[in-house]
Chains A and B, each alone.
Chain A
Amino acid sequence: MKQHPLCTDCENPATPLDLPIPEGLKRDWTALETRRHFLGRSGKVLGWAALAGLFGELGLRSFANGADSSSVSAEKRNGPGLPHFAPKAKRAIYLFMSGGPPQMDLFDYKPNLASQFNKDMPDSVRGNQQLTGMTAGQAHFPVAPSHWPFGQHGETGAWVSSLLPFTARMIDDLTIIKTTNTDAINHEPAIMLMNTGNMNAGKPCLGAWLAYGLGSMNDNLPTFIVLQTKTNPKENNQPVSARLWSSGFLSSEYAGVGLRSGADPVLYLADPAGVDRTVRREMLDTVEQINRETLAEVGDPETNARIAQYEMAFRMQSSVPELTDLGQEPQSTWDLYGPEARHPGTFAYNCLLARRMAERGVRFTQIYKRGWDVHNDAVGMLPILCRETDRGAYALVTDLKRRGLLDDTLVIWAGEFGRTVYSQGGLTQDNYGRDHHPRCFTTWMAGGGVRPGITYGETDEYSYNVVKDPVHVRDFNATVLHCLGIDHSKFTYKFQGLDQKLTSPVPAHVVEGLLA
């Protein structure tokens, strides 16, 4: 007697075999149910378990992390199995000279250029390079030697322009790279490439990668903080946007947190009148509960990021006022950083703040200084730019050094590209302008992981092409990651079907010659 497929008969319960499904599926089902199959599978499971035991935490950590949801916040703190090896530097401070500082006016000393004044740069030097729209139309490319004398400084006798008297004093602590080079010739793609390893927007920047990979050292402050220097209206300021400290495809928790350059670094940080800490706490707890319900319902990981950011904001209500209260700084600080450091928003103030953040466990601080885009009136603008930045950078490195922080802090000074040796627009005895130049530019690093007192790489007579030891932006970033204990080639995040990296897609390598 044929039974209805879904009839609930206790003596002859319906099985999937009774269902009107294809015969193939029924065969599969039967195959799965045999005792032999069960035992075979159990054996394999035991084998895998034994293997997992043998490999221990080393081999299968990544699987374990994926399976165990309670380890998510541990991963947030420790990163995905990072650092790969014991790092020299725990944190980094990046002084970003937006606009492109002219290397031959600051570090790349070319004494022979004086005799080339106003002569056309040989075509062979430029080759078939495509220029920017600003100078491509020029009939002549007159060589403009630097307006300023250079001198040798420190025990290493490195050449530094008289524009940077303070930097010259710490020259033995610096690792100067004369051969940094980039692919882009215009600001936006070049600054994106420098920060995110890609000219197109949408990739995480160095700071976000570090925040994701290495995690926080202080739960009360953001892991990655961005400080902008107040613009000087006389200077040619190129825009600096939040794309540069974006977390790209990583969770928004890892994006840089910008502090305002005014007296109030974070707006609306103080509780409004009549709201005390308890009320604020209760409100946040309720909001978190609602957010958790939303997360359960929708499953968007960005909800997690939002919960984390509410909590961070609550903790910052007490940690940020303490961070920015410079009242306790001794007189020696002001002697070192100079009087400008007392004014919020100046480069020197930001450098002092960066030191205080380093002490308090901020993983990555990036200070942006705009205005280096000296297409014309270089002679008028460079002394202003150098006066604004020279002492702050020197004070930061020196302060970190005397306080014992430079051992495990990496300080980086870089722009997005260099500038041309030939003058943009008219060259006179007193003045010149310089166009963008991607083929070589000078950057420096100092502190944990890099070798102090060296000058790396050589450029040609015109500071135009690299002659020896080029350091591409990707190699530069790979080296920075190495100092922080990260193997750039293993530090990946799967997105859009690719193992995304800070240094992809072209192979990059760590520059061994820069390492301590």
Chain B
Amino acid sequence: MIAGHKLIAAMRNLRFRNVPPRWLFTLVMSVLLVMLPFALPLDGQPHADWLQFLGRFHPLLVHLPIGMLVLLPVLELAGTTRLALRQAAGFVLLLTLAIGAITLVFGILLAYGSGVMGVTVTRHMWGGIALLVELMLCVAVRPAWASGQLHRIYPSLLALTLLTLTWTAHQGGSLTHGSDYLTRYAPGPLQKLFPSASAASDAAYVGSVYARNIHPILDAKCVSCHGASKEQAGLRLDFYELLMRGGRDGAVVALRNPDQSLLLQRVTLSPSDRHFMPAEGKTPLTTDEIAALRAWILAGASPTAVSIPGIFTARENTELRLQPVGDYSSLMNEIRQMQHSESAKLVAVSATPSDGLILRTNDVASKFDDAQLARFQEFAPFIVEAELGRTAVTDTCFDTLSKFSNLRALHLEGTGVTGRAMAKLSPLAQLSYLNLSGTRVTSDALAPLKGMPNLRHIYLFDTPAEPASTAADRSTQ
């Protein structure tokens, strides 16, 4: 009880005597800011036009406080030697807060007014609110720091503000330019660090006209506004099911009726029409793309159909682009030694080293077993083709093979594999050719391979899955 009284007394002291008014202001404003999204919920409905009119000044204004905020640490650092700069920093901080507040308001008006919603929008909004709160805290603690009382709080607060700024600005950039704007043209190794969301999306319909011809159009031209990060008009076009569900204005695809399909109507309007899509000066669809959409809708907008009249499905598209395997020059000595010895060999696919290596066992086929295969783990990421046909490998070989991350072709014909451990192959995303002819593999053993995106050629001749007798019947019919 006594302790409680003391605490209340301390708080009373805090509130009414020692706390300067700017602290009070900061506290009240922060609470108001955090309430704002609840007062104006992003419900996906557009509101009064004047809200949007003001809101559209948000992207115009936003770069000003960003620039000033970035300038701030420079001024503070330079201020250690030149006092005038430190004084300027205080002014810049105040100005940043003021313009930042206006920007935030405009931003919320934009989101609320246009009826946009989505994960990235929400993140961007909360980022902006956090940023403003942090800026107010900076303003509140800076005088104490400048007068030499508190040494640590203000610099760390400023650092936190800059981090928040980076994150928030990235969310905003993703909204306007698309989430892979920065990484799309990055060099290969860098891209691996940022797995592209759109490349992986809608892998459910691999090989269909939808996957090969339609989805890429939507992905390139529509998904930056009608996708997971930004759901304009409540419409998402990044997955087949969402495309068919439509948006706030109802379904966008009318089966077998392209002229009644909103999707097609909006992209074929006059570009000056305010409903024309893609909006806001983004690249319009080409006539070929429109023709493909029309033909696809006319044919029933199936997600699985593999050929549709009027849509050119180039054979070339079915072939995989070769992925570079990386640098193995440090292993060249070992590879050369192998070529002189009587053993399995690693052979370059071509004169371009990054095309990878072929593991060739013809010379020693009958003597090549799982243990010898395991010795090639060192070269695992560089082997793109493993010629293990007619060797002595067994089901154990899949343990090693699962590490051949760039493997494109796997020959296991005439070996003792039964396919029991076939599931271990599933991480091999590049695998497109698998030869199991003349093995004891059953059709059940193949089930784990169903989900492998690029596996297009599986050979099962003379196996329990495809006995030679039936194959012979078929071929002589």
Contact B437 A403 (CB under 8 A): yes
| Cβ < 8 Å to B, chain A residues 331-369 | 331-332, 335-336, 359-361
Within 8 A of B (CB), among A163-220: 217-220
Would you call B202 an interface residue if the criterion is a C-beta within 8 Å of the partner chain's C-beta atoms?
A: no
In the complex, are the beta carbons of B315 and A83 less than 8 A apart? no
Interface residues of A in 462-489 (CB under 8 A from B): 485
A43 within 8 A of B: no
* B380 interface residue (CB < 8 Å to A): no
Which B residues touch A505, using CB under 8 A? none
Chain B, range 296-330, C-beta contacts under 8 Å to A: 315-316, 319, 322, 329
- Which residues of A in the span 74-106 have a Cβ within 8 Å of any Cβ on B? 74, 77-78, 81-87
Contact A219 B363 (CB under 8 A): yes
Taking a contact as CB atoms under 8 Å apart, the answer to whether A73 and B433 are in contact is no
Chain A: CB-nearest residue to B466:
A402
B350 touches A336 (CB 8 A): no
Question: CB distance A73 to B340 under 8 Å?
Answer: yes
Q: Indicate whether A74 sits within 8 Å of B336 (C-beta atoms), given known contacts A86-B355, A332-B471, A335-B476.
A: yes
**Distance (whole angstroms) from the CB of B380 to the closest CB of chain A:** 19
- Say if the beta carbon of B348 comes within 8 Å of chain A: yes
| B472 contacts partner chain A, Cβ-Cβ < 8 Å | yes
Instruction: Check: A407 CB closer than 8 A to any chain B CB.
Output: yes
Tell whether, in the assembled complex, residue A402 and residue B435 are in contact, meaning their CB atoms are under 8 Å apart: no
Partner among A71, A220, A330, A516 whose Cβ is within 8 Å of the Cβ of B468: A330
Q: Which residues of A contact B459 (CB under 8 A)?
A: 402-404
User: What per-residue 1/0 map shows which CB atoms of B334-351 lie under 8 Å from chain A?
Assistant: 001001101001011111
Whether A332 touches B472, Cβ cut-off 8 Å, given contacts A218-B362, A404-B435, is: yes
CB distance A73 to B339 under 8 Å? yes
Residue B469 at the chain A interface, CB threshold 8 Å:
yes
Is A451 in the interface zone, CB < 8 Å from B? yes
Q: Is B238 interfacial (CB-CB < 8 Å)?
A: no
Least CB separation from A61: chain B residue: B351
Per the bound structure, the CA–CA distance linking A398 and B475 in Å amounts to 8
Chain B stretch 413-470: residues in CB contact (< 8 A) with chain A: 413, 433, 435, 437-438, 457, 459, 461-462, 468-469
Specify the chain B residue showing the minimal Cβ separation from A88.
Answer: B319
The CA-CA distance from A330 to B438 in the complex, in Å, is 10
Taking CB atoms, residues of chain A closer than 8 Å to B363 are 218-220
- Is residue A18 contacting chain B, with contact meaning CB distance below 8 A? no
Asked if B390 and A359 make an inter-chain contact with CB atoms under 8 angstroms apart, the answer reads yes
Contact of B347 among A78, A404, A407 (CB under 8 A): A78
| Binary B-proximity of A146-157 (CB < 8 A = 1, otherwise 0) | 000000000000
Q: Taking the complex as formed, is B107 at the interface, i.e. its CB lies under 8 A from any CB of chain A?
A: no
| Contact indicator B457/A77 (Cβ below 8 Å) | no
Contact of B352 among A73, A86, A402 (CB under 8 A): A86
Task: Report whether A57 and B350 are in contact in the complex, using a CB–CB cutoff of 8 Å.
Answer: no
Q: State which of B319, B433, B471 has its C-beta within 8 Å of the C-beta of A402.
A: B471
Q: Identify B353's interface contact among A57, A218, A398, A403, CB under 8 A.
A: A57
Q: Which of A82, A86, A516 contacts B315 (CB 8 A)?
A: A516
B362 touches A217 (CB 8 A): yes
Instruction: Report B-chain residues with C-beta under 8 Å of the C-beta of A81.
Output: 351
Tell whether B266 is near chain A: CB-to-CB under 8 Å: no
Partner pick for A82 among B351, B433, B468, CB 8 A cutoff? B351
Does any Cβ of A come within 8 Å of B389's Cβ?
A: yes
Q: In the complex, A425→B461 CA distance in Å?
A: 50
Mask of A217-237 contacts with B, CB within 8 angstroms, 1/0: 111100000000000000000
Question: With A and B bound together, what is the CA distance between A359 and B362 in angstroms?
Answer: 9
Chain B, residue nearest A221 (CB): B362
- Contacting residues of chain B (343-396) with chain A, CB-CB under 8 angstroms: 345, 347-353, 355, 360, 362-363, 389-390
- Looking at the complex, which one of B347, B351, B437, B461 makes contact with A84 (CB distance below 8 Å)? B351
Cα–Cα, bound, A130→B389 (Å): 53
Q: Are A407 and B457 in contact (CB under 8 A)?
A: yes
Residues of A within 8 A of B315 (CB): 451, 516
Indicate if the CB atoms of A86 and B349 lie closer than 8 Å: yes
B475 close to A336 (CB less than 8 A): yes
Secondary structure at the B interface, as helix, strand, loop or mixed, is: mixed
Q: Quick one: closest B residue to A315, CB to CB?
A: B363
The reply to whether A332 and B389 contact each other, CB–CB distance below 8 Å, is: no
Bound state CA distance, A403 and B457, in angstroms? Answer: 11
A86-B413 contact, Cβ under 8 Å, with A78-B348, A402-B461? no
| In the complex, per-residue mask of A46-90: 1 if CB is within 8 Å of any chain B CB, else 0 | 000000000011000000000000010110011001111111000
Closest beta carbon of chain B to A174's beta carbon, Å:
15
Name the distance in Å between B45's Cβ and chain A's nearest Cβ.
53
Bound together, the chains give a CA A74 to CA B315 distance in angstroms of 37
- Residues of chain B contacted by A402 (CB below 8 angstroms): 437, 459, 461, 471, 475
Q: Inside 8 A of A77's CB, which chain B residues have their CB?
A: 339, 345, 347
For window 144-170 of B, CB contacts with A under 8 Å fall at none
| Minimum C-beta distance from A111 to chain B (A) | 28
Chain B: minimal CB distance from A57 (Å):
7
Contacting pair A404 B350 (CB below 8 A): no
**Per-residue CB proximity of A442-455 to B under 8 Å, as 1/0?**
00000000010000
Please name all residues of chain A whose beta carbon is closer than 8 Å to the beta carbon of B353 when the two chains form the complex: 57
| A-side contacts of B362, CB under 8 Å | 217-218, 220, 360-361
Bound together, the chains give a CA A360 to CA B413 distance in angstroms of: 12
Q: How far is the CB of B102 from chain A (nearest CB, A)?
A: 54
A331–B468 touching, CB < 8 Å: yes
Choice from B336, B339, B352, B413 contacting A404 with Cβ under 8 Å: B413
B253 CB to closest chain A CB (Å) equals: 31
Residue of B nearest to A219 (CB): B363
Once bound together, how far apart are the Cα atoms of A322 and B462, in whole Å?
21
Report A305-347 residues with CB < 8 Å from chain B CB.
330-332, 335-336
Q: Contact at B476–A57, with CB atoms within 8 Å?
A: no
Contact of A407 among B390, B433, B475 (CB under 8 A): B433
By a CB distance below 8 angstroms, the chain A residues around B411 are 404
Measured in the bound complex, the distance between the Cα atoms of B316 and A217 in whole Å is 28
Residues from chain A with Cβ under 8 Å of B413 in the complex: 359, 403-404
Q: Chain A residue with minimal CB distance to B390?
A: A359
Specify which chain B residues have a CB less than 8 angstroms from the CB of A330 in the assembled complex.
462, 468
CA distance A38 to B352 in the complex (A): 38
The residue in chain B whose Cβ has the minimal distance to the Cβ of A487 is B351
Instruction: A83-B351, A516-B315 given; name 19 further pairs at CB < 8 Å.
Output: A73-B340, A74-B339, A77-B339, A84-B350, A86-B322, A86-B350, A86-B352, A218-B363, A219-B342, A220-B362, A220-B363, A332-B468, A359-B413, A398-B475, A402-B437, A403-B413, A403-B461, A404-B461, A407-B457
30 A-B residue pairings within 8 Å (CB atoms):
A56-B329, A57-B329, A73-B339, A73-B340, A77-B339, A78-B347, A78-B348, A83-B350, A83-B351, A84-B350, A84-B351, A85-B351, A220-B362, A330-B462, A331-B468, A332-B462, A332-B471, A335-B472, A336-B475, A336-B476, A359-B413, A361-B360, A402-B461, A403-B437, A403-B461, A404-B413, A404-B435, A404-B457, A407-B457, A516-B315
Q: Which residues of B contact A (CB under 8 A)?
A: 315-316, 319, 322, 329, 336, 339-340, 342, 345, 347-353, 355, 360, 362-363, 389-390, 411, 413, 433, 435, 437-438, 457, 459, 461-462, 468-469, 471-472, 475-476
> Taking beta carbons and an 8 Å cutoff, which residues of A are in contact with B?
56-57, 71, 73-74, 77-78, 81-87, 217-220, 330-332, 335-336, 359-361, 398, 402-404, 407, 451, 485, 516
Closest 6 pairs between A and B when the two form their complex, measured CB to CB: A404-B459, A332-B468, A361-B362, A218-B362, A404-B435, A332-B472
